[in-house]
Structure 1
Amino acid sequence: MGCDSLLDVNVLALYDIHGNVDALEAVLAAAPEPDLVLVGGDAVPGPFAVATLDRLAQLPTRWIRGNGERETAAALAGPAPDPEDLAAVTARLSAEELGATRARPLGELPLTTEVDGVLYFHATPADDAEILTRISPDERYAEALSGVTHGLVVAGHTHQQHDRMVGGTRFINAGSVGLPYEGDGVARWLWVADGVPERRATPYDAAAAGARMKEVWPDVMSIDAALVSPVPAAEITELFEQRARQGR
């Protein structure tokens, strides 16, 4: 899952795939050929974890850890999850599908990586689950990026693309490949050529992909909201911002 340090490369940044291998294939078919695929966290949990990791294994990847990878690895140990805790239930399902040999290393991935002077992380540099939304105040961005000297940083986690200046740092959310909360089901990703970012989107049959996922996956609410009957993006942004204010 590693790669030597690279300069002057074309990076395909894929965040929040969440086991949606149909969306992953659509993006890979649409994207130019990259020098490096940056897997930005939360490739799992998801309904087709093995298929997703197998497909990514065919590519020149560098990985960082999302909360999904951490939770999937942690699910290998401990008691059975509370059936009402969908995050725990889905982490356990992916851990069981992958098996210990593949799931455990996911929890050991780094929080951040640097390519071509760009700093990549899942949510914030020090926390794989902190929420920064399109409408979060400047002060919260500045606190989360305290100590960062890079001119460009790339994140995901909220499943919504956006672009924000924080002092001298440009913060780009790459969006979600597999569960985009954009109101249209279209897969989102980021192309970074020689350190210059371009947000991109790939339409595909998201409703059909969502229906296939729902056949095997318990978190039907997230799948519906992202893919089958997409909820307006602003509603999701407000919901996540409320969770951020409440510290969840």
Structure 2
Amino acid sequence: MRVAALYDIHGNVPALHATLAELEVVKPDLIVIGGDIISGPMPVQTLEMLFQLDIPVQFIRGNGDREVVLAFDGEALALEMSDSVREITSWVAEQLNRSHRDFLAQLPLTYTLEREDFGDVLFCHAIPTNDEDIFTPLTSDAVVATYFEGTQQRTVICGHTHVQFERRLGDLRILNAGSVGMPFADKPGAYWLLLDGDRYEHRFTLYDVEAAAKQIASTNYPQAKQFAEENVRKIPTAQEAMEFLEALAQKNRPSTS
């Protein structure tokens, strides 16, 4: 069975369009959409593009999807949420109709792909028990082990940090699919993961980032020009992102001393 894992699209329609065009050649049997689907410049167009796919699609939720539902419902957002993320979340919620909201609200935290030949695969956005904890290639094995304690599957696919990487803890294999719409990597493009039998391949799809940046900058997204410049034309490197995210995560982790 061939499975394409597309994570962290973040409303980047040009990146999604290019990735789906490549999937027409790859011909997966299933697409897994790994959360943080619409928190970005073109949220409704992103959902509608995914709804029109004619192959099986399994969605799971990300923290961004959960927060947009809260904003749609008029519920309080987390006090620690930055002003910029709060602005984005509120704007995205305003673009949605009730059916969009209801779809996002029912998304599961995880999805298990059952496979007799190669073992089951668990898909989650961040970690199996929540959609927001951060770990990176720089995180200690001891910390990562606490996040995956009790996981029955031997392979886990995750996202959330927008960086493609692989970690192994004993016989547990953890693969980060990267990000289609807001990647942290050495060159701009769309990053995703392909599962083909017992093989796992980090994939990269090139697209016209100049045209995409212009398209995104012309939207009424409140941070459109910034998104176009910093997440499409020029992007943070994986190393820069890992160092920043690891420092952020360490501040939020309980002390082990």
Q: TM-score, normalised by structure 2?
A: 0.87
Pick one of 232, 235, 240 that aligns with 2:237: 232
Residue 222 (structure 2) aligns with: 218
Q: CA deviation at 1:107?
A: 2.6
Q: 1:84 to 1:112 in 2, by over 3 A?
A: closer
2:190 pairs with 1:190: no
Asked if structure 1 preserves the Cα contact closer than 8 Å seen for 2:11 and 2:181, the reply is yes
Structure 1: distance between partners of 2:181 and 2:208? 12
Unaligned runs of 5+ in 2: none
Runs of 4+ aligned structure 1 residues displaced above 6 Å come to 79-84
Asked if structure 1 preserves the Cα contact closer than 8 Å seen for 2:91 and 2:222, the reply is no
Unaligned runs of 5+ in 1: 1-8
Q: 1:161 to 1:214 in 2, by over 3 A?
A: same
Q: 1:221 to 1:242 in 2, by over 3 A?
A: farther
Structure 2: distance between partners of 1:18 and 1:205? 17
Residue 89 (structure 1) aligns with: 87
Pick one of 27, 32, 48 that aligns with 2:19: 27
Asked if structure 2 preserves the Cα contact closer than 8 Å seen for 1:153 and 1:171, the reply is yes
Asked if structure 2 preserves the Cα contact closer than 8 Å seen for 1:179 and 1:185, the reply is no
Q: CA deviation at 1:122?
A: 0.2
Residue 103 (structure 1) aligns with: 101
Report the secondary structure of 1:75's partner residue: helix
Pick one of 59, 62, 84 that aligns with 1:63: 59
Report the secondary structure of 2:8's partner residue: coil
Residue 175 (structure 2) aligns with: 172
Asked if structure 2 preserves the Cα contact closer than 8 Å seen for 1:181 and 1:230, the reply is yes
Report the secondary structure of 2:168's partner residue: strand
Asked if structure 1 preserves the Cα contact closer than 8 Å seen for 2:185 and 2:237, the reply is yes
Q: 1:214 to 1:170 in 2, by over 3 A?
A: same
2:39 pairs with 1:45: yes
| Greater displacement, 181-190 / 71-80 | 71-80
Asked if structure 2 preserves the Cα contact closer than 8 Å seen for 1:71 and 1:107, the reply is no
Q: Percent identity?
A: 39
**Which residue identity does 2:49 align to in structure 1?**
R
Q: 1:13 to 1:213 in 2, by over 3 A?
A: same
Asked if structure 2 preserves the Cα contact closer than 8 Å seen for 1:71 and 1:88, the reply is no
Residue 78 (structure 1) aligns with: 74
Query: In angstroms, what is the RMSD of aligned CA positions?
Result: 2.1
Aligned length: 240
Asked if structure 1 preserves the Cα contact closer than 8 Å seen for 2:38 and 2:44, the reply is no
Q: TM-score, normalised by structure 1?
A: 0.90
Report the secondary structure of 2:72's partner residue: coil
Structure 1: distance between partners of 2:233 and 2:50? 25
Q: CA deviation at 1:85?
A: 1.5
